[in-house]
Every structure is written in structure tokens, then in C-alpha cells.
Amino acid sequence: DIQLTQSPSFLSASVGDRVTITCRASQGISSYLAWYQKKPGKAPNLLIYAASTLQSGVPSRFSGSGSGTEFTLTIGSLQPEDFAAYYCQVLNLYPYTFGQGTKLEIK
């Protein structure tokens, strides 16, 4: 099974900052990676699929890149509503494992 390792696990930043979260796969997964935002009490929200395709309705300050084993999620200019947890997920074959998550907090 493919394992996903996100870094960092916790990130403290300010409104207006540019932040990057990394997701590393234990073996190559081409571009079969998605990113989700998770807020307390809400269902996860798909941000990026196929590593770099922005889901409809998601603000353009979110972007994804990478292929193979290393992927990044970048938030161009943090807004107050962006403080949440973020998860990557592999989607080439079952199991569709999630990374352990990155909690983005206000500095």
C-alpha cells in the first residue's frame, strides 16, 4: 500500500502569508493526488484533484503541483477562512489513503 507523509504537521502563519504544504508518497503515483480542506464540524472540501487541477468554485489562491512522489499545495495569500486542516489523498488504486494532515493555525 502507498503511504503519504505530509509536512509540516502544524503550520502557524498570518493573514496574507504564502504557505506551502508538502505531501510525499512512498512510491510513484503519477498525478493521482487530491487535496482537501477540513474545518471542525464540516465535511471535507475538495480543493485540488489530479495533483494540479483546481476544483470548480475553489479560490484561485489555492494551487497544487507535483507528480510521482512529491506534491505541494500552495495558498497564495492566506485569508481568515483558510485556517483549517489540509489533507492529501492518493487515488490511483485502492486503498485511497489520506496523509496524516496539516493543521494551519493563525500566528
Site string for another protein, 3-32 (x = CB under 8 A): ------------------------------
Between residues 14 and 81, which has the closer beta carbon with respect to another protein? 81
| Rounded CA Rg of the chain | 13
Sequence-distant (≥ 6) Cβ neighbours of residue 41 within 8 angstroms: none
Minimum CB distance to another protein, residue 16 (Å):
28
Which of 24, 44, 65, 69 touches another protein (CB under 8 A)? 44
- One of 2, 17, 24, 55 touching another protein (CB under 8 A): 55
Q: Identify the bridge partners of residue 35 per DSSP, sorted by sequence position.
A: 48, 88
Q: Is 46 in the site for another protein (CB under 8 A)?
A: yes
Q: Is 87 in the site for another protein (CB under 8 A)?
A: yes
Phi, psi torsion values for 35, nearest 5 degrees: -125, 140
Strand residue runs (E) in the chain: 4-7, 10-13, 19-25, 33-38, 45-49, 53-54, 62-67, 70-75, 85-90, 102-106
Site for another protein, rule CB under 8 A: 1, 34, 36, 38, 43-46, 49-50, 55, 85, 87, 89, 91, 94-101
